[in-house]
Amino acid sequence: MITIEKLHKKFGSLEVLKGIDLQIKSGGVFAILGPNGSGKTTLIKSMLGMVIPNSGDIWIQGENIKKQWRYRHQVSYLPQIAHFPKNLKVAELLKMIKNLKNKPCDETSLVATFNLAPFLNKNLGDLSGGTKQKVNAVLTFMVDNPIIIMDEPTSGLDPVSVLELKKIILAERAKGKTIIISSHILSFIEEISDEIVFLLDGNIYFKGSVSKLKENTNKSNFEEAIASILTTSYA
Amino acid sequence: MLKIIRYSFFDLIRSSWSYVYLLFYLALGFVLLFLNNDISKSVITLMNIIIVLTPLIATVFGIMYYYDSREFIELLLAQPIKRTNIFLGQYLGITISLSMSLIIGLGIPFTFYGLLNSAAIWNFSMLLITGVFLNFIFVALAYNIALYNNNKIKGFSYVILLWLFMAVIYDGIFLISLFIFKDYPLDNFSLAATMFNPIDLSRILILLKLDISALMGYTGAIFKDFFGTMQGVIISLLTLGIWIIIPALNIYRKATKKDF
């Protein structure tokens, strides 16, 4: 359970989040949508404590996260782009993150799923962007955390890996985990999400299920529904 | 925090730059000893090099490492670790690996030349201690600059300017003001001015230890006059300590507030 109250964030003079109130209930896939610059990543990073909000509070599993770090024992994060220290080997990075998470981890099956075995002894600096993103996915899913947060998880992945990622997400959902995902790939979202929130200029424009969004906008197709929001709000 | 120190330390000692740095000191040590053929004389020559070069390398290394590891910091921030531990851990990781290059790189040639049986061993140790202090100070300053500037080019320019200011310009301004105000008593002014520049302070610290009045210059002479050798050494070491603590505290403060 995640509760966000009156969350404001400014970067310089740019107001990115303008008082977000949001409740994300436990269990299920929760998608955060919105055009570029609508505050998706800032919202996600606020939940992780990477961005410090100007005002407002966030509770994760009943704990106010302000200046806290132990709650991150419950949260896995898959960032948009993966950058690792160049001189570390993949196996060493896995070991290091396991060491930092300080929890039982199971990475062997994930390494097999993403065909990473040949890369385990390669330097991270030599890997391609997509392979790095796979390593990232392994880091995210190897720990059994009740909350998983993903920012554009499909970026750089090939179609086979996207398919694998989707399977993993669905499997995690079946275990009753809370999965928060932001993506521009609408077909991906429509397929897996239980609830969506649509951000527009730092405010919540819509919150509900995909079918309710279609109903509200009188469209039969998810993509057209999103497009109609954008055209009406910018017109 | 120990984990972070360990990882950045190992990450750094595996980068080729650490080896270049180590080899540079090795070569420098051997060449100086070969040319001077005397440990005490080499220590003096070395002082002039260390005092100017260590800060430069520490600042450039510090800021490069920060910008290089920025995305990795983001990955670490999402892990269950205290924010400040990430930054202070990285800071210590860099300074320790730089200091090790310095100590090993200069230690090996000097030990070969019979440093351990020579009277210059304490002077040499003082030189290394000062070098380590300068590493801690200038990496901390570079980290401060990096935390306030997301733009790499800006950060690099500030860091180079900082070094240039401390190593060259400061002395110039200092000398000019001594010249202009030569009719007034300048003892206290020059004492204070020395405290505000860690490079000057280190120079005086080593010269006090070496006890070479001829090289001390005006400030060194005043320093010695005012504090005496022993007290002078202690005061300058303490001041160098303050030069580490204040920027390190500011890293701590800024690290709790910065957005990523």
CB atoms A50 and B77 under 8 Å: yes
Q: Is B119 a domain residue? A: yes
Q: A213, A182 in Cβ contact below 8 A?
A: no
Q: B138, B248 in Cβ contact below 8 A?
A: no
Q: Is B260 a domain residue? A: no
CB atoms B15 and A100 under 8 Å: no
Q: What is the pLDDT of residue A87?
A: 74
Separation in Å, CA B129 to CA A188, B36, B94, B223, B243 = 59, 22, 16, 20, 14
Q: What is the pLDDT of residue B136?
A: 95
Give the separation between CA B145 and CA B65, rounded to whole angstroms.
13
State the burial class of residue A8 (Cβ atoms within 10 Å of its Cβ: 0-12, 13-18, 19+). Answer: middle
Please identify among residues 12-51 of chain B the ones whose CB lies closer than 8 Å to any CB of chain A: 14-15
Top pLDDT among A192 and B119 is at: A192
pLDDT tens digit sequence for B102-126 = 999 999 988 888 777 777 788 888 8
Q: A26, A61 in Cβ contact below 8 A?
A: no
- What is the residue-wise DSSP string for A94-110? HHHHHHHHTS-B--HHH
Q: Does B151 touch chain A (CB under 8 A)?
A: no
Write the single-letter amino acid at A41. T
Angle at B21 between CA B17 and CA B24, to 5 degrees: 135
Q: Is B188 a domain residue? A: yes
The number of domains in chain B is 1
CB atoms A79 and B75 under 8 Å: yes
pLDDT(A234) > 70: no
Q: What is the pLDDT of residue B214?
A: 63
Q: Is B136 a domain residue? A: yes
Q: Does A14 touch chain B (CB under 8 A)?
A: no
Sheet holding A203-208, edge to edge: A75-78, A147-151, A178-182, A28-33, A195-200, A203-208
CB atoms B74 and A11 under 8 Å: no
Q: What percent of chain A has pLDDT over 90?
A: 9
pLDDT(A202) > 60: yes
Using CB atoms, pick whichever of A11, A67, A79 lies closest to residue B74: A79
CB atoms B78 and A50 under 8 Å: yes
When mean pLDDT is compared across A36-50, A51-65, B115-129, the lowest value belongs to B115-129
Domains of chain A: which residue ranges? 2-234
pLDDT tens digit sequence for B130-165 = 999 999 999 999 999 999 998 999 999 999 999 999
Give the separation between CA A138 and CA A115, rounded to whole angstroms.
11
pLDDT(A85) > 60: yes
Residue tagged 């302000």 (tokens) = A66
User: For A190-209, what is the mean pLDDT?
Assistant: 87
- The CATH T-level fold of domain A2-234 is Rossmann fold (3.40.50)
Domain of B124, in residue numbers: 2-255
Q: Where are the alpha helices (DSSP H) in chain B?
A: 2-13, 16-36, 39-68, 70-77, 83-112, 121-148, 152-164, 170-180, 187-195, 198-210, 213-227, 229-255
Q: Does B254 touch chain A (CB under 8 A)?
A: no
Residue ranges of chain B whose pLDDT lies below 50: none
